[in-house]
A and B are shown apart, each in its own frame.
Chain A
Amino acid sequence: MLKRNDARADKSNFVGKTVPRENARRLSQGRGRYVDDIAFRNLAHVAFVRSPHAHARILSIDTQAARAVPGVIDVITGQDIRSMCQPWVGVLGHFPGLKSAEQYPLAVDVARWHGEPVAVVLAESRALAEDGADLIEVEWEALPSVVDPETALESDAHVIHPELGDNLAFRLDLEKGEVDAAFASAAHIAEGTFHFGRHTGLTLEPRSIVADFDPALRQLTVHHSTQTPFQMQDVFARHFGLEEGSVRVIAPDVGGSFGLKLHVYGEEMAACALSIRHGRPVKFIADRLEAFQTDIHARDHRVKARMAVSAEGEILAMEVDDLTGIGPFSVYPRTSAVEGNQAIRLMGGPYRMPSYRGRLQVVFQNKTPMCQYRAVGHPVACAVTEGLVDQAAHALGIDPLEMRRRNVVTQDMYPHTSPTGYVFERLSHEECHARLAEMMNYERLRREQAEARERGVYRGIGFATFIEITNPGPAFYGVGGARISAQDGCVMKMEPSGDIRVMVSVTEQGQGTETIMAQIAATHLGVPLERVRVYTGDTQTSPYGGATWASRGAGIGGVAVMKTAEALKENLLTVAATILQAQPGELDISAGAVVSRASGEERMPLSELGRIAYFRPDTLPAGFHAELTAARHYVPQGYPFAFTNGVQASHLEVDIETGQVRLLDHWVVEDCGRIINPLLVDEQIRGGVVQGLGGALFEECLYSPEGQLLCGTMADYLTPMAAEMPDIHVGHVETPTETSPLGAKGVGEAGTAAAPAAVMNAINDALSPFGASVSRMPFTPERVLRALGKV
C-alpha cells in the first residue's frame, strides 16, 4: 500500500523534472500569435520621420505634401503631440541626484539623437505611411553633438539639456574599508582600462504594438509585445488621462525581449495617441533600421580599475571608476542609472575583498538612449573584476582557478555582506569551482594548450566567477516611486472536468514561464501536468503583478503559484471531505484524484468532485459553499535580492596572423537554487551565454565621430550565428534559497553576466606568450591584431 502511495506521489511531482514546453509544440508548427499576426478591421499604420542628425534644432516641419498623399490619414509633429500626451521624466527617488529632461513621444524643438522621431504619419498601410513620411520636409539647424562620454563633462562640452546645467545625469561614490592603506601595502597592483561597446538587444520580433481605442467606452486596448503589461497599463492610463481600468494591455506571443521590451518608447506612445485621436486601431511594427535607431542600447562603459593583492594572492581592495554614456535621456520609467549602479556594486562580488572604492558617472550624449538589457551591469563588473584577478594571478604566478579559490566567499561566511552593501544568503563558489574543473578536465586542457603552443597554435583558457541579482524585491523600483509591482499574483480555479486553470501575473517570452508555473501548480495540487493550463499576459484577466524581468519570474511568480495551489488544494479537500463525510486531514489529492491520506486509496476523481460541486450542490449540506477558485500574492521579503552564483570557462583559439578568435568550448556551472525544469534552465543559460559571447566578439553599435549610427542592418551589426558558436556544457550546484518556500532563484541572466569575461581572459591567456592583451569589447580581429602590434 505504501509503495502505491509513493508511486502516485511521484506521478504528481513535476518540480525538478525535464518537461518540454507545450508552447514550443504550438510555436514549432507556426501557430504562434504575435502582435503582427492579429487581424484587425479598419487598421491604420504609422511611419515616422526621424532626425538625420545626432543633435539639431527643428526650425520648421512642412507636412503639406504628406497630407496630400492618397491614403494618408493624419500627420502629427512634436508640437502637436504635446496636447495629446503627458510628458515623462526618467528619474526615480532612490537614485538621489539623478536628473533627466522632460520627454514627449516625438522630439519637440530639438532632436537629440540620430533616429529620434520628430513626426508621425498615419495611413491606410505602412507603405503609404512611409510614402507620406518621405515627403515631409524638416528644416534643421545642426547643433554640436556630444558623442564620446569622455568629453561629455568637459567644460566646453555642449550641454544637451541647458536647463539641467551639465551633461552629468547621475553620480555615485561608494567607499568601504581602508582602500588607500590596502593599495599602499599591496604586493602587487593589477590595473587596467576596460571598454564595453554599445550593443543592443536585437529581439528577432521587433517592437510591436496595436493600440485600439474605443471612443464610446473611452477604453484603450493595447496588443503589445511587452514583458510588462501592468507597468504599461499604468503608463498608458496616466499619460493619456484614462482610468486605469479603461486600459487593457494584452501581451500575446512575444518574439524575444531580453529587457528591451519593458521601456517606454515614443513610437508606441505615438501609436496610442493616434488611436485615441482617430478611434481606430493603429499598428506600429518597428522595422529593423528603426529598431537599431530606437530600441534601447546597452553597456557603453569605460572602466578604469585597479586591484590590490597580497603576495599570497589575497584580494585586498579594488578601486573603480566607471563612466557610462546613456544617450540624451534617462529612459522612463526604470531610469538609465540602474546599469551603472549595478556595475559598480557588483565589482568584486564573489570575493572576500574587504575594501572598495567605486565611482560612477552617468553622462548624457547624443546617441540612442541606453537602458536595462539582459544582465544589467553584470558583464561590466564581472569582466573588470575577473580581468584584474587574472592579471594579478599571472603576476604572482598563481594558477587563475587557484587564485579564485583562494578569494571566494566561503561556506563558513554566510550570510555575507559585500563591501558595496549586497547581502548574500548562501552561495556555493567552492563547489562550483570544483565541479567546473572536473567537467572541463582542466589539467588535461592545460597540457594540451602547452602542446599546441609548441606547434604555433595559440589556445587560451579563461575563467569568470560570477554572481547574479535575481528575485528583486520592492527596493528595486517601488521605493523610488516607480509604479512597477514588486509582488506577483495568481488565480487558480478547478473546472467541472477537474482541470486546473492558472492565471498568473508573470509573463512568457519563450523562457518557459507557463510550463514552470504548470509544473509547480500540478505538483502542489496533486494533479497530472496535462490537466493544468496557464494563462498570462492580459491585464484584464490576470492578477496584478510585476511580470517577467530581472530574473524574477520563477522565483517570485513561482511562489505565488505554489501558495495558490496549496490554498486551492485546501479548498478542494474541504469540499471532498464534505462529500465523503470525512475530515479534510484524512484526505489528499494525488494524480488528479482525492485519495485517502493514509492508504493512498482513491476516493473520488476531481472530475466527480467538480460535477457535484458545480452541478449538484443540492446534495451538499445546507450552508456549505464550495470554494473552487483561490488567489494568492507573493513578494520576496528579508533580502533585497536572491543572489545566484557560478563560474564560466571559455576555451578558444586565436589566429595570431588574422586576429580571428575561434571558440572551441564553453562551460558553465551555476547555482540558481531549486531547479524546477532542468531542460529550461540549461537552455536559458546557453541562450544567455551566447548573448554574452555576442557582446564579447561581435556586437557593437558603431557611430561616426559626429554621432551618426553606422549600423542600420543586420549585415552591419554582427550577432552570433550557429557556425561560430561553441557547444556549451552546463553543470549545476543546487543551493535552494531559504527565503522562499519554493527555494528557486532566477537564471535568465547568468549566462550573459560572465561569458564576456571568460572570453576576454581566454583571449589574453592565448596572447600571453606575446605579452599582448585586449580589454576593449567586442574583441574584433582588428583589435586583436592591434594588441599584437601587427597593424
Chain B
Amino acid sequence: MDSVFPITLTLNGRTVTHDAPQRMTLADFLRQTVGLTATHIGCEHGVCGACTVYVDGRIARGCLMFAIQAEGCDIRTLEGLADDERMQALQKHFHARNALQCGFCTSGMLLTAHQYLGSQEEPSREEAREYLSGNYCRCTGYQAIVEATLAASDELAAKAGCKDEEAGRAEA
C-alpha cells in the first residue's frame, strides 16, 4: 500500500494541506484527494490538455507534475476562477456559442483561453487557433471555441473601454 505524505499548497487562493502518495499526479490529487473534478484526465501523458491548471500563474498540465512537486506552489483550477471576470466572460460565450459539446475538454480549454486573453491585448483568429492548439476537442471542430474566445475578448475590451471612459470623465 502506498504511504501518504502531507502536501501543503495554495489551492484556489487558500492554503491547504492534504495527504497523498508520492506517485500521485497533481491531476489525480486535485480530483481524488481534494475532490475538485473540473480538472479532467484525458491521456495522462501530457498531450490532450484536459487537465490544464494554473501553476504559479502559468498554465501547465496537471498530469505532468506529481502532487508532491506542488508543495508550496500556487495552484488554481477552474473552480477557483468562478469569480474571475475574464473567466466569466469566456464561460458566457462558450455557452452562448455552443463552444462545447461533451464538456470534457472544456475546463482545460477555458484555462488556456483565459491565459491567452490575459497575455494578448489584440487576439486574432489565427493566433487563437495556434494558442489553443495544445488542447484536444473531439466534438466541436474548434471553430466555436475560437469564436467564443474572441467574443469574450471583445466583450472584455468593450467593458475596459467603458471603464477607461468613465475614469477619463471622472478625472475631467
Complex A–B touching at CB under 8 A: yes
A772-791 interface bits toward B, Cβ cutoff 8 Å, 1 = contact, 0 = none: 00000000000000000000
A725 and B142 contact, CB distance less than 8 A: yes
Interface size on B, residues (CB 8 A): 56
* Bound Cα distance A358, B23 (Å): 56
Q: Within residues 704 to 734 of chain A, which ones have a CB less than 8 A from any CB in chain B?
A: 713-715, 719-725, 727-728
Q: Output the nearest chain B residue to A712 by Cβ-Cβ distance.
A: B45
Q: Report which residue of A33, A203, A255 has the largest number of chain B beta carbons within 10 angstroms of its beta carbon.
A: A255
* Bound Cα distance A720, B35 (Å): 31
Q: Output the nearest chain A residue to B133 by Cβ-Cβ distance.
A: A723
* Bound Cα distance A128, B23 (Å): 11
Residues of chain A at the chain B interface (Cβ within 8 Å) = 20-21, 23-25, 27-34, 36-37, 39, 70-71, 124-125, 127-128, 201-206, 253-258, 287-288, 509-512, 679-680, 683, 686-691, 713-715, 719-725, 727-728, 751
Q: A23-B103, A24-B103, A204-B48 are in contact. Are A723 and B110 (CB under 8 A)?
A: no
A722 and B135 contact, CB distance less than 8 A: yes
Query: A27-B102, A30-B106, A510-B139 are known contacts; what are 15 more A-B pairs with Cβ within 8 Å?
Result: A20-B95, A20-B98, A24-B99, A27-B106, A29-B38, A36-B31, A124-B1, A128-B2, A204-B48, A679-B98, A687-B101, A690-B142, A719-B136, A720-B141, A751-B141
B137 and A204 contact, CB distance less than 8 A: yes
B91 and A721 contact, CB distance less than 8 A: no
> Does B59 belong to the interface (CB within 8 Å)?
no
A28 and B100 contact, CB distance less than 8 A: yes
Q: Looking at the assembled complex, report how far the CB atom of A206 sits from the nearest CB atom of chain B, in whole angstroms.
A: 7
Q: Which of B68-76, B143-151, B162-170 forms part of the interface with chain A?
A: B143-151
B143 and A714 contact, CB distance less than 8 A: no
Q: Inside 8 A of A31's CB, which chain B residues have their CB?
A: 38
Q: Inside 8 A of A37's CB, which chain B residues have their CB?
A: 31, 37
* Bound Cα distance A719, B135 (Å): 11
A30 and B78 contact, CB distance less than 8 A: yes
Q: Report which residue of A37, A680, A723 has the largest number of chain B beta carbons within 10 angstroms of its beta carbon.
A: A723
Main secondary structure of the interface of A (DSSP, over half): loop
Q: A36-B41, A715-B45, A722-B133 are in contact. Are A255 and B94 (CB under 8 A)?
A: no
A203 and B136 contact, CB distance less than 8 A: no
24 A-B pairs in the complex with CB atoms less than 8 angstroms apart? A20-B96, A20-B98, A21-B95, A21-B98, A24-B95, A25-B91, A27-B100, A27-B106, A28-B110, A30-B77, A32-B106, A34-B37, A127-B23, A204-B50, A204-B102, A253-B103, A287-B44, A288-B48, A509-B102, A510-B103, A687-B101, A687-B141, A690-B141, A719-B136
* Bound Cα distance A30, B77 (Å): 9
Q: Output the nearest chain B residue to A715 by Cβ-Cβ distance.
A: B47
> Does B104 belong to the interface (CB within 8 Å)?
yes
Q: Looking at the assembled complex, report how far the CB atom of A200 sits from the nearest CB atom of chain B, in whole angstroms.
A: 11
Q: Inside 8 A of B101's CB, which chain A residues have their CB?
A: 256, 509-512, 683, 687
A32 and B104 contact, CB distance less than 8 A: yes
Q: Inside 8 A of B56's CB, which chain A residues have their CB?
A: none
> Does B171 belong to the interface (CB within 8 Å)?
no
Q: A30-B79, A127-B2 are in contact. Are A725 and B129 (CB under 8 A)?
A: yes
B44 and A28 contact, CB distance less than 8 A: no
Across the interface, B82 reaches (CB within 8 A) one of A21, A27, A29, namely: A29
Q: Looking at the assembled complex, report how far the CB atom of A422 sits from the nearest CB atom of chain B, in whole angstroms.
A: 28
B101-113 interface bits toward A, Cβ cutoff 8 Å, 1 = contact, 0 = none: 1111111001000
* Bound Cα distance A579, B138 (Å): 52
Q: Output the nearest chain B residue to A33 by Cβ-Cβ distance.
A: B37
Across the interface, A256 reaches (CB within 8 A) one of B24, B104, B142, namely: B104
Q: Inside 8 A of B24's CB, which chain A residues have their CB?
A: 127
Main secondary structure of the interface of B (DSSP, over half): loop
* Bound Cα distance A459, B79 (Å): 46
> Does B9 belong to the interface (CB within 8 Å)?
no
Enumerate the 4 nearest inter-chain pairs by beta-carbon distance, A residue then B residue, closest first.
A30-B38, A27-B103, A510-B101, A255-B104
Q: Inside 8 A of B114's CB, which chain A residues have their CB?
A: none
Q: Within residues 24 to 72 of chain B, which ones have a CB less than 8 A from any CB in chain A?
A: 24, 31, 35, 37-45, 47-48, 50
Q: Inside 8 A of B79's CB, which chain A residues have their CB?
A: 30
Q: Report which residue of A37, A204, A721 has the largest number of chain B beta carbons within 10 angstroms of its beta carbon.
A: A204
Q: Inside 8 A of A253's CB, which chain B residues have their CB?
A: 102-103
Q: Output the nearest chain B residue to A19 by Cβ-Cβ distance.
A: B98
* Bound Cα distance A33, B31 (Å): 12
A686 and B144 contact, CB distance less than 8 A: yes
Q: Inside 8 A of B134's CB, which chain A residues have their CB?
A: 721
Q: Inside 8 A of B44's CB, which chain A residues have their CB?
A: 287-288
B141 and A28 contact, CB distance less than 8 A: no
Q: Inside 8 A of B94's CB, which chain A residues have their CB?
A: 24, 28
Q: Inside 8 A of A30's CB, which chain B residues have their CB?
A: 37-39, 77-79, 106-107
Across the interface, B138 reaches (CB within 8 A) one of A28, A258, A725, namely: A258
Q: Output the nearest chain B residue to A692 by Cβ-Cβ distance.
A: B141
Q: Report which residue of A24, A257, A287, A689 has the largest number of chain B beta carbons within 10 angstroms of its beta carbon.
A: A24
* Bound Cα distance A202, B38 (Å): 20
Q: Report which residue of B38, B91, B142 has the largest number of chain A beta carbons within 10 angstroms of its beta carbon.
A: B142
A25 and B41 contact, CB distance less than 8 A: no
* Bound Cα distance A449, B3 (Å): 65
> Does B132 belong to the interface (CB within 8 Å)?
yes
Q: Looking at the assembled complex, report how far the CB atom of B90 sits from the nearest CB atom of chain A, in whole angstroms.
A: 8
B102 and A510 contact, CB distance less than 8 A: yes
Q: Looking at the assembled complex, report how far the CB atom of A38 sits from the nearest CB atom of chain B, in whole angstroms.
A: 9
Across the interface, B140 reaches (CB within 8 A) one of A125, A128, A683, namely: A683
> Does B21 belong to the interface (CB within 8 Å)?
yes
A683 and B37 contact, CB distance less than 8 A: no
Q: Inside 8 A of A23's CB, which chain B residues have their CB?
A: 103
Across the interface, B102 reaches (CB within 8 A) one of A125, A201, A255, namely: A255
Across the interface, A686 reaches (CB within 8 A) one of B40, B91, B140, namely: B140
Q: Looking at the assembled complex, report how far the CB atom of B94 sits from the nearest CB atom of chain A, in whole angstroms.
A: 5
* Bound Cα distance A680, B95 (Å): 12
B35 and A39 contact, CB distance less than 8 A: yes
* Bound Cα distance A254, B77 (Å): 21
Q: Inside 8 A of A727's CB, which chain B residues have their CB?
A: 143
Q: A30-B79, A125-B2 are in contact. Are A204 and B138 (CB under 8 A)?
A: yes
Q: Looking at the assembled complex, report how far the CB atom of B51 sits from the nearest CB atom of chain A, in whole angstroms.
A: 11
Q: Inside 8 A of A27's CB, which chain B residues have their CB?
A: 100, 102-103, 106
Q: Report which residue of B23, B78, B102 has the largest number of chain A beta carbons within 10 angstroms of its beta carbon.
A: B102
A205 and B42 contact, CB distance less than 8 A: yes
Q: Report which residue of B43, B104, B137, B139 has the largest number of chain A beta carbons within 10 angstroms of its beta carbon.
A: B139
> Does B130 belong to the interface (CB within 8 Å)?
yes
* Bound Cα distance A251, B112 (Å): 29
B141 and A728 contact, CB distance less than 8 A: yes
* Bound Cα distance A34, B104 (Å): 9
Q: Output the nearest chain B residue to A205 by Cβ-Cβ distance.
A: B104
* Bound Cα distance A20, B92 (Å): 11
Q: Looking at the assembled complex, report how far the CB atom of B50 sits from the nearest CB atom of chain A, in whole angstroms.
A: 6
Q: Output the nearest chain A residue to B80 by Cβ-Cβ distance.
A: A30
* Bound Cα distance A128, B96 (Å): 43
Across the interface, A683 reaches (CB within 8 A) one of B43, B77, B138, B144, namely: B144
Q: Inside 8 A of B41's CB, which chain A residues have their CB?
A: 36
Q: Output the nearest chain B residue to A288 by Cβ-Cβ distance.
A: B43
Q: Inside 8 A of B107's CB, which chain A residues have their CB?
A: 30
Q: Inside 8 A of A32's CB, which chain B residues have their CB?
A: 37-38, 103-104, 106
Q: Output the nearest chain B residue to A719 by Cβ-Cβ distance.
A: B136
Q: Inside 8 A of B143's CB, which chain A residues have their CB?
A: 686, 725, 727-728
Q: Output the nearest chain B residue to A123 by Cβ-Cβ distance.
A: B1
